[in-house]
Amino acid sequence: MAGKPKYDWDSITDDMIREAYAATRSYTLAGQALGLERGGALREHLRDVRPKLKAELDAMGVKLKAVPPPEAEEEVSREEILEHEVKELRRANEILKVASAFFAQAELDRRLKN
């Protein structure tokens, strides 16, 4: 049993690792997201078995540090979406007010003519 790997690394693809790392920005959290019990297992596996992927992720990590975390991005984009919705609803409300006034005036004019 000593030579048998603890995790089934064949079932974890490079794309799965990239996606988990990009989402969490941490080898430990990415490993947990992939179902690994021990936090350092992913980093050790990448160092020993997939060094090219580890180098790619390290470079990605440097780029990701300059960008706000995905949670913050989602919060900002959600806030921006809501602000945009409020503007649209206010504009629609103003249009409805003007249309209502127009039709009310047209109704008054019609009644005065009769």
What mean pLDDT value characterizes the chain? Answer: 79
pTM comes to: 0.46
The CA R_g of the chain, rounded to the nearest whole Å, is 29
Question: pLDDT by residue (tens digit) across 70-86?
Answer: 555 556 677 887 888 89
Given this model, what pLDDT does residue 2 score?
47
With both helix axes pointing from N to C terminus, report the angle between 51-65 and 41-48 in degrees, rounded to the nearest 10: 120
Q: How far apart are CA 36 and CA 60, in angstroms?
A: 21
Q: Which two tokens stand for residue 14?
A: 């490079």
77: Cα separation from own chain's centroid:
9
